Structure 1
Amino acid sequence: MDPIPVAIVVGSLVALIAMRLTRIGKRPPSLPPGPPTTPVLGNLLMFPRENAYLKFTQWAREYGGIFSLMMFDNPFIVISDPRYVKELIERKGGSVADRPASHLIDTVTEGKYLTFARYSNDWRTARTMLQKALSKEAVIQYVPIMQAEATQLLYNMMTKPENFFADTTRFGYSVSSTVLTGTRAPSSESPISKKFFHMIEEWSGLLEPGSQPPIDLIPILKYIPARWAKWKGLCADIRRQQCELYNGFVTMCEHRIANNLRNGSLLEGIIADQKLGNDKILIRGTIGAFLEGGTDTTSLFLKSLILMLTSSPEAQAKAHKEIDDVIGSDRLPVLEDFANLPYCQAIMKEVLRIRPMVPIGVPHNATKEEVIDGYVIPVGATVFMNQFGILHDPESYDDPDLFIPDRFLKSEYGTKPGVNTDVRGNEYHFGAGRRVCVGMHLANNAMRQNTMNFLWAFNFKAPTDPATGKPLPVDINNYSEGIATSPRPFKNIIEPRSPVHAALIRKELIAARPIFERYEHELSPEEAKYAASLGI
């Protein structure tokens, strides 16, 4: 071949490749604006490795309520404005009901973990089943066990206040486990409880955006040997733990069914009626989503509630007066009281506003192109709903980083006068659209009951500085990393409001024994002995 044409061909190919490479990572003009990109990588190097919600919120203030990031040539869309939540995730929810592909998650769950599963027939079958079982009307049947568990939580916090972190987690897990598997957890030190809590801590860390290599963006990373890829060992370990735990619950319920010892758990019905067929992986994924989501949602809220109350004696004083006027000290609160306690409602709403449990939610995947406010949301885009950014917008909230329950007495959504509330919701912490949390009604009942209980029963105080005699400052921003965030352990003082309150807690816990006993048949002898001794 003539050397001149060869040179032309080679040069042309090099030019084409160079042009293609310069386009990779570049933001198309049709996308929402965002931070400057670099060739090929886009915004990859600036993607936060921890606390992504804080960086997303900072970028939202700079680039607007909808902005984009480029991960190579993969667009990430971040929504921090309720207008866009309403328009894209709710009104056009079918276009973003999918989840992004995740090699890490699929390695652990085989693709059938309900929270992260793709928008498929399996997902629709499992979700429809849970929607019926956990509807607002259906969860009324679980109120007695939830209230009994909430009473034990009061007792635990009264007798060992220094253990409130473990005890709030135990509450969330025990309610979820009782409803799903028919077995409660009277102690956070039981073998199954400890295994579950250890697993969920590792799982949450694995899921933190930016915490692991971008395997889905650079697929060749899948083939790195395990000795150089820490994530492979972590995935294998989490999968082993989940299989052991969740298969154990299935075996336990199968034994009850075979021996006519059913106690009405959801899992018994799933197995006996073959609501998910014989798909053991889907059953295991449904168990995991229910238990992990239920435990996290409630326990993280309770920890934040205690932190915020400890920081605000003024809010406690107002709530104590309201509760004393409406309920008094001769009985514990019941769910029906919540409608008559507007300040307690305001406290709960403000805790959920200032610290949503999953600050950027679980990402969505666009399966159909949409145009929002002139911006194109292309097929394959990963869409984040930045709950933290929405709920900390200074254009919508006065002093958004401060704990001010009174804002919810002035307006339904706690917003400034004049803010358009037609597109807002009070439950962004549960997500939105077709992926909204299926257990939200059960979680709401638990959060309402415990908010009333804590304010009825206790004074929460900051420790005193021995040098000055004044309360030490409380850091309400000291939160852990993870897809779900929690206050880091903090010191406080938890005291019963009076001997009358303390005596009634003991009395009500003893009275709850018949409710507990129905769900204690699989306890070890040590656990059963401990459960029977509570309150005595």
Structure 2
Amino acid sequence: MPVSSGLVSRDRRSLILPQEQWMERRRVMHGLLSGTALKQYGAWQEEESTKMMAEYVFHPQRWYRHHYRYANSVIVRIALGEQPLKSTKELEEMQNAVTFFVGSIGRSVVDWFPDLAKLPWFLQVWRPYWARLGQWNYDLYAKWYNPVKAKVENGTAPPSFVRDFLMHPDTRFKGDCDDLMYVAMQLIEAGSDTTREALNIMTMAALEYPEVFAKARAEVDRVCGVGKDARLPTLEDMDALGYICAMCKEVLRWRPIFPLTPDHTASQDIEFEGYYFPAGTGFTINGPAVCGECEEPERFMPERWLDGHEQDIAHGLWQFGGGRRICVGYRLAQRSLFINIARLVQCVDYKPNGPYNAEILNLEAVGEPFPVRATLRGEQYKAMIVEEAKKVGVLEEARFNRDKLQ
């Protein structure tokens, strides 16, 4: 893709790189999936989730900002090792980086007919626009990444994917400095925006299907207690909260975030149902069509996933891609969705706060994507959240986070 991969991404975003360039980046990203890493990251996910719940207590009207703050904070801690002390403008810039990049995929006819990129430069009238976007993207990445890179080099960096895997000498990463930056920042880019969007979809489902959320709440109450005896769910509750796990999958199926996946290329000749596809053929997954291949596809019905595989979010679901190029962070994504959906179902009531259209989800919105009135379930649940936030040391940050969210 000469535009989205070449000009916009400088041929460094692994999502749309050909196999030979993709493999080295994929190899180093497997550090995200080690047992030790998932345990450390899980502790951060639970802490940031507790902070998000406390933000709901103090500023419920900013529910959509809490979703993004959580998602961004978790993935920045995982990738860079630090809680992001970023302004709203800086967070919006990172959100825009995702929007602009995803919006560039296939948007130009050159990505569909790449031989056009072989024309003399003076005939490539599209180059200046996309090259400026690529430079803006590069500068934004550098602003986030370079301070952490310097700390790793001088030995003052905290634990992180960058320090412990990407830049660790034992990893022997074969890319250059810019490759390192793009690997780290594409994790932040992907991890913060998709989790935010999925939690917003969950909120829409809560408005449309309150009976589903009543059933989910009953499951959480059975496992985690009710009223003064309640506790917040943890990641250790995943096996016991199968309906919540099924909800995570249904959120991604009901309103697929990615209408189309980038091409997967056949590495060998394929014969399928009477058709012949030679090696090199590109295949794109049509997200809405695939997600609609079920009974009553417009209904939000987690029960469809209660098949013994509800704890495996990638089983039967194509929203993370598939094959060897499946999203490397899908287990992290599942854990973030699980812990937050379980806690929001337990503690928050959602009602419409004005007219909205459930068919039109403005997931890229910086402001409120649809009108919602979020209220805490009761004083006992507020007290439980406040006590837990105090215990893990995030209460005051949540209480006085309003200015950062303006």
Class of the TM-score when normalised by the shorter of the 2 chains? 0.7 to 0.9
Once residues 163 and 378 of structure 1 are traced to their aligned partners in structure 2, the CA distance between those partners, rounded to angstroms, is 51
Over the aligned positions, Cα root-mean-square deviation in angstroms equals: 3.2
Change (3 A) 1:289 1:316: same
Q: State the Cα deviation string for residues 443-483 of structure 1 (Å, max 9, x = none).
A: 1110110110111110111236xxxxxxx5x533213599x
Q: What is the CA distance between 1:180 and its match in structure 2? A: 0.6
Larger radius of gyration: 1
Residue in structure 1 matched with residue 357 of structure 2 by the alignment: 475
Q: What is the CA distance between 1:388 and its match in structure 2? A: 2.5
Q: Does 1:431 align with 2:333?
A: no
Residue in structure 2 matched with residue 149 of structure 1 by the alignment: 48
Residue in structure 2 matched with residue 513 of structure 1 by the alignment: 393
- Of 161, 180, 185 in structure 2, the residue corresponding to residue 266 of structure 1 is 161
Q: Does 1:448 align with 2:343?
A: no
Q: State the Cα deviation string for residues 148-176 of structure 1 (Å, max 9, x = none).
A: 11112222233333322232122212111
Q: What is the CA distance between 1:360 and its match in structure 2? A: 2.4
Change (3 A) 1:255 1:425: closer
The answer as to whether partners of 1:365 and 1:382 remain within 8 angstroms in 2 is yes
Q: Does 1:185 align with 2:84?
A: yes
Q: What is the CA distance between 1:191 and its match in structure 2? A: 4.9
The answer as to whether partners of 2:52 and 2:398 remain within 8 angstroms in 1 is no
Once residues 398 and 259 of structure 2 are traced to their aligned partners in structure 1, the CA distance between those partners, rounded to angstroms, is 36
TM alignment of 1:109-124, pairs within 5 A: 109-120=9-20, 122-124=21-23
Change (3 A) 1:505 1:144: same
Q: Provide TM-score, normalisation by structure 1.
A: 0.66
Once residues 442 and 381 of structure 1 are traced to their aligned partners in structure 2, the CA distance between those partners, rounded to angstroms, is 31
Residue in structure 1 matched with residue 218 of structure 2 by the alignment: 321
TM alignment of 1:79-478, pairs within 5 A: 101-120=1-20, 122-135=21-34, 138-185=37-84, 189-207=87-105, 209=106, 211-217=107-113, 219-220=115-116, 229=125, 232-269=127-164, 270-273=166-169, 275-277=172-174, 279-328=176-225, 329=227, 330-393=230-293, 397-409=294-306, 411-412=307-308, 425-463=315-353, 475-478=357-360
Q: State the Cα deviation string for residues 392-431 of structure 1 (Å, max 9, x = none).
A: 12xxx2211111223334x4579xxxxxxxxx93332211
Change (3 A) 1:124 1:475: same
Letter paired with 1:213? V
Q: State the Cα deviation string for residues 76-109 of structure 1 (Å, max 9, x = none).
A: xxxxxxxxxxxxxxxxxxxxxxxxx433321122
Q: State the Cα deviation string for residues 177-215 of structure 1 (Å, max 9, x = none).
A: 11011122366x3453232123222222222x4x33345
The answer as to whether partners of 1:479 and 1:487 remain within 8 angstroms in 2 is no
Once residues 347 and 123 of structure 2 are traced to their aligned partners in structure 1, the CA distance between those partners, rounded to angstroms, is 52
The answer as to whether partners of 2:351 and 2:372 remain within 8 angstroms in 1 is yes
| Secondary structure at the counterpart of residue 387 of structure 2 | helix
Q: State the Cα deviation string for residues 16-63 of structure 1 (Å, max 9, x = none).
A: xxxxxxxxxxxxxxxxxxxxxxxxxxxxxxxxxxxxxxxxxxxxxxxx
The answer as to whether partners of 2:361 and 2:370 remain within 8 angstroms in 1 is no
The answer as to whether partners of 1:313 and 1:461 remain within 8 angstroms in 2 is no
TM alignment of 1:59-98, pairs within 5 A: none
Q: Does 1:493 align with 2:383?
A: no
Once residues 481 and 227 of structure 1 are traced to their aligned partners in structure 2, the CA distance between those partners, rounded to angstroms, is 36
Once residues 181 and 351 of structure 2 are traced to their aligned partners in structure 1, the CA distance between those partners, rounded to angstroms, is 42
Unaligned runs of 5+ in 1: 1-100, 415-423, 465-471, 517-528
Once residues 91 and 179 of structure 2 are traced to their aligned partners in structure 1, the CA distance between those partners, rounded to angstroms, is 22
| Secondary structure at the counterpart of residue 495 of structure 1 | strand
The answer as to whether partners of 2:2 and 2:110 remain within 8 angstroms in 1 is no
Q: What is the CA distance between 1:316 and its match in structure 2? A: 1.7
Runs of 4+ in structure 1 off by over 6 angstroms are: 224-228, 485-488
Letter paired with 1:339? D
Q: State the Cα deviation string for residues 477-506 of structure 1 (Å, max 9, x = none).
A: 213599xx9998101111100111112222
Letter paired with 1:185? P
Q: What is the CA distance between 1:228 and its match in structure 2? A: 9.4
| Secondary structure at the counterpart of residue 173 of structure 2 | coil
Once residues 227 and 164 of structure 1 are traced to their aligned partners in structure 2, the CA distance between those partners, rounded to angstroms, is 48
The answer as to whether partners of 1:262 and 1:268 remain within 8 angstroms in 2 is yes
Aligned residues: 394
Change (3 A) 1:459 1:532: closer
Q: Provide TM-score, normalisation by structure 2.
A: 0.86
Letter paired with 1:298? T
Once residues 301 and 169 of structure 1 are traced to their aligned partners in structure 2, the CA distance between those partners, rounded to angstroms, is 10
Q: What is the CA distance between 1:311 and its match in structure 2? A: 1.1
Change (3 A) 1:133 1:404: closer
Once residues 127 and 240 of structure 1 are traced to their aligned partners in structure 2, the CA distance between those partners, rounded to angstroms, is 24
Q: State the Cα deviation string for residues 271-317 of structure 1 (Å, max 9, x = none).
A: 24263246123212212321122113311211111111121111121
Once residues 218 and 488 of structure 1 are traced to their aligned partners in structure 2, the CA distance between those partners, rounded to angstroms, is 38
Q: Does 1:503 align with 2:383?
A: yes
| Secondary structure at the counterpart of residue 271 of structure 2 | strand
TM alignment of 1:16-35, pairs within 5 A: none
Of Structure 1 and Structure 2, the greater helix share is in 2
